[in-house]
Amino acid sequence: MTGVEAAGSRWPGAGPLLLGVRHHGPGSARAVRAALEAARPRAVLIEGPPEADALIPLAADEEMRPPVALLAHAVDEPGHSAFWPLAEFSPEWVAIRWALEHDVPARFVDLPAAHTLAWRTERPDGDDSAEEGTAEEGTARHPSGARPPGTDVRVDPLAALAGAAGYDDPERWWEDVVEHRGAGEGDAFAPFLALEEAMGALREAYGGGGHDRDLVREAYMRLQVRSARREFGDAVAVVCGAWHVPALRRRAAVTADRALLKGLPKVRTDMSWVPWTHRRLSRASGYGAGIESPGWYAHLFGVPDRPVERWLTRVAGLLREEDRVVSSAHVIEAVRLAGTLAAMRGRPLPGLSEATDAVRAVMCDGSDVPLALVHDRLVVGDVLGEVPRAAPAVPLQRDLTRLQRRLRLTPEASARELELDLRKETDAARSRLLHRLRLLGIGWGEPAVSRGSTGTFRETWRLCWEPELSVRVAEAGVWGTTVLAAATARAEADAVAARALAEVTALAEHCLLAELPDALPVVMRVLADRAALDADVGHLAQALPALVRSLRYGDVRGTDTGALAGVAAGLAERIFVGLPPACAALDADAAEEMRRHVDAVHGAVALLGDTPAAVHGGLRARWHGVLRVLSGRDTVPGVLRGRAARLLLDDGEVEQEQAARLMGLALSPGTPPADAAAWVEGFAGGGGGMLLVHDERLLGLFDAWLTGVPGEAFTDVLPLLRRTFSAYEPGVRRTLGELVRRGPGQGGGGAGRTAAGVPGFAADLDQERADAVLPVVRLLLGLDGPGPNPVPGSGSGERSGDELAGVAG
């Protein structure tokens, strides 16, 4: 038999049936299925790594749901990997499924992944590595282009053919000649003969050889096709990128092909199936798979008829879910407009561009905002494939899959937020798993800011499973066979390798969050050694907050953190001793950095103050003593002196009278304006706006100083003041402006405003304001209703004062 025969049909060419396809093309997929049904070959050869032959039967498993990908990674270096993604509408997937359904042998015949990965490792900067990380040229993009002699420019065959046909968009050309022309209908082999002829002309025009790796791959494929023909005769079908068909058809000497393959580098590899996503099939994902609209192509491949009408109906459903008013009349009008646009543009049927223009005009009122949602959700889509449990995987992946099922954490391609209550055992276990994966570099979940409670028993995560995380799992497999064992080993190794003290303290925090009891002692020993040797106050100040957070989280999780508390208390003591000398004679940048360290230590001491070690050692009192030293020492930069005074005031360690005295000294005429402005920046920054709003004495001092700054010095002071006030909320800035505008005696910022009465308050009771606040106070305290609003001026000051006292009591 000289060709592939079937009832009433014969492959018109000599030799095997070569089916050149566009990877991930639904038209090619339908044509491949029609050709295989017509020819009924005895074997099917497919472009792909031959190491995956043993994985082909899993494609028939009921749990297999495309899109999926073949993952190859080097055994010794799992980070060196490559993917061969397959969607439901990929011609290769259709060929695999047809072969399995008809009990026909199916084999992969592309260059082995062992050479692919080794070639990538040895030639990382060469042109040959351009397609690594995907399924090589064809599966990663349009069929691989060629380069004219002496150049390194790849040519997109579809773009070349589209340009020859007068199209400026290869996607539109492909839709018109394949997707909209009923590929595979009538003569099942005609599309492949036409593509082979076109690719032959392109290869001849661009030098005939193409990319260096193409030549090697094609030599290997020719050898595999020869081997299959010896076993099955010419009744062999080959499904490959259309670019390769002329090369496979060409007769070449076996010795020449073997010579091209001689001496290729090689590494040990493992193969497995992994889930893939439609988003990763799009060019924008960075894994350029040759199609910009995988969701649209899946729709074209899956619907039986009326693709545009069904598509616009899906779009209308999505927009209705987003609370847009879209009726059946909108769908009908959009279908008519899409058809009209196709006729005006000379297209046989409406395509995606016509459907998109119709949606924009009819359903989105000309806006691109809802259209972006349609593109994201439908045109691209968030479909995530599934692989069967029987698929081979590294032990760590199996343990992770088991934990995901037990904790009901299903990987999803679309990002979602997960709220956890650590008081519940299941949520606590989920938190431990996500933290352990982060330690291993598997970023399935990222911590997010909670929208609800800010208690330490709450955690919010943003989850999104990306296909490359499968590579991260394979890489992390070198640390252990379970998530717990791998995270423990990785934490211990990172602790030993860490150079900065802050890195070790952050690692201790991660160990507590991930609940790694075996790793924590190792990390604590390294932490104690590094803390004892590190004399840099800045490094110690950076390390303390992470330690204190670890203590706080440890209490929530019921972890024994006694040893950690002792190290934190000792670290705080060393900071207290070294901070005053370290704050002397600093320039502006160093002073600002040290201010951030002071703020961090202050927050850490506040959290640490309730622990037994801190209470016994009087840490909070000692810290306040350090702040008093900083606030009164002239050699300390103004921003640090002002910040120390503010922190003491916030903690109630100085009275407002004393704070006003410190500000008066700092803003005295003898102080250079730049130094005074730095003091104000330290004192009034970080929420200091509310302090100025409610304490008119401080505002008056600041106002008097600012109005007295000489004109020649004002330009130097202005940048510091702008930086300070720009951090305030708009409402605070507006209130301060009103107070200053009113002036002395009117609730403004004049220095003489608070000469009488209680500091920060008016001398006499404002009856109208007192009466207005009573209903709200009663409502907040849950008393017997808000009561009637008093008439301004109708009551006495004594009555309002008595009632306020009663509410407060």
Say whether both 221 and 312 belong to one domain: no
Going by DSSP bridges, is the β-strand pair 68-74/81-86 parallel, antiparallel, or unpaired?
Answer: antiparallel
- Distance (Å, whole) CA 107 – CA 105: 7
For the stretch 11-68, pLDDT in tens is 555 678 999 888 888 888 988 999 999 889 999 999 999 999 999 999 999 989 998 9
Q: What b/e string do you get for 228-266 counting C-beta neighbours within 10 Å, with b at 16 or more?
A: bbeebbbbbbbbbbbbbbbbbbeeeeeeebeebeeebee
The H-or-E segment that residue 240 falls in is strand 236-241
Q: Which two tokens stand for residue 589?
A: 């940048």
82 and 148, same domain (yes or no): yes
Q: Does one domain contain both 461 and 367? A: no
pLDDT band at 756 (very low <50, low <70, confident <90, very high): very low
- 353 and 316 within one domain: yes
| Structural domain includes residue 659 | no
In a shared domain, residues 248 and 123: yes
pTM of the predicted model as reported, rounded to 2 decimal places: 0.65
91 in any annotated domain: yes
Tell me: do 312 and 407 sit in the same domain: no
User: Within a 13 Å sphere around the CA of 287, how many CA atoms are in the beta-carbon half?
Assistant: 22
Same domain, 137 and 277: yes
In a domain, 312, yes or no: yes
687 pLDDT tier (thresholds 50, 70, 90): low
Statement: residue 329 has pLDDT above 90: yes
Is 403 part of a structural domain of the chain? Answer: yes
Lowest average pLDDT, out of 311-315, 479-483, 505-509, goes to 505-509
| Interacting residues of 28 by C-beta distance below 8 A, sequence separation 6+ | 21, 22, 91, 178, 183
CA torsion, points 358, 363, 364, 365, in degrees to nearest 10? 90
What percent of the chain shows pLDDT beyond 90? Answer: 18
Q: What is the pLDDT of residues 349-385, one digit of tens each?
A: 888 889 999 999 999 988 888 999 999 889 988 888 8
What is the pLDDT, as a whole number, of residue 564?
67
Distance CA 506, CA 504 (A): 5
pLDDT of the residue at 56: 93
Looking at the fold, whether 184 and 321 belong to one and the same domain comes out as no
Is residue 590 one of the residues assigned to a domain? no
Q: How far apart are the first and last CA of the chain?
A: 104
Residue count (the chain): 809
- The answer to whether residues 186 and 237 belong to one domain is yes
Q: Which amino acid is at 809?
A: G
- Using omega within 30 degrees of 0 as the cis cutoff, is the peptide bond preceding 67 cis? yes
Q: Say what the alpha-carbon torsion angle 153, 159, 165, 171 is, to the nearest 10 degrees.
A: 180
Confidence band for 561, pLDDT divided at 50, 70 and 90: low
Of the residues 336, 353, 380, which one is the last residue of a structural domain? 380
Backbone φ, ψ for residue 590 (5° rounding): -65, -35
Residues 259 and 402 in one domain: no
- State the DSSP code for 504: H
Residues 376 and 400 in one domain: no
Look at residue 735 and tell me if it is in a domain. Answer: no
Tens-digit pLDDT profile for residues 585-632? 788 888 888 888 888 888 888 777 655 544 445 778 888 888 888 888
334 within some domain:
yes
Residue 687 belongs to some domain of the structure: no
Domain count, the chain: 4
Max CA pair span of the chain = 114
| Statement to judge: residues 337 and 442 lie in one domain | no
Residue span of the structural domain in which 307 resides: 303-380
What is the phi/psi pair of residue 26, to 5°? -65, -30
Beta-bridge partner residues of 10: 5
Inter-residue contact 448 to 417 (CB < 8 Å): yes
Point out the domain boundary residue: 479, 496, 518: 479
In b/e form, how buried is each residue of 59-78, taking b as 16+ CB within 10 angstroms? bebeebebbbbbbbbbeeeb
Write the pLDDT tens digit of every residue in 217-267.
999 999 999 999 999 888 899 999 888 888 888 888 888 888 888 888 888
SS (H, E, C) 686-723: CCHHHHHHHCHHHHHHHHHHHHCCCHHHHHHHHHHHHH
- Rounded distance, CA 579 to CA 332, Å? 74
| Final residue belonging to a domain, choices 285, 319, 346 | 285
Q: What is the mean pLDDT of residues 451-456?
A: 58
For residues 300 and 360, the answer to whether their CB atoms sit within 8 Å is no
**Contact yes or no for 221/47 (Cβ under 8 A):** yes
Report how far apart, in Å, the C-alpha atoms of 673 and of each of 638, 678, 705, 723 are. Answer: 11, 9, 9, 16
Both structure tokens of 543: 């390390």
pLDDT greater than 70 at residue 278: yes
Distance from C-alpha of 362 to C-alpha of 340, rounded to nearest angstrom: 13
72 vs 792, which has greater pLDDT? 72
Q: Residue 68 phi/psi, 5° resolution? A: -135, 175
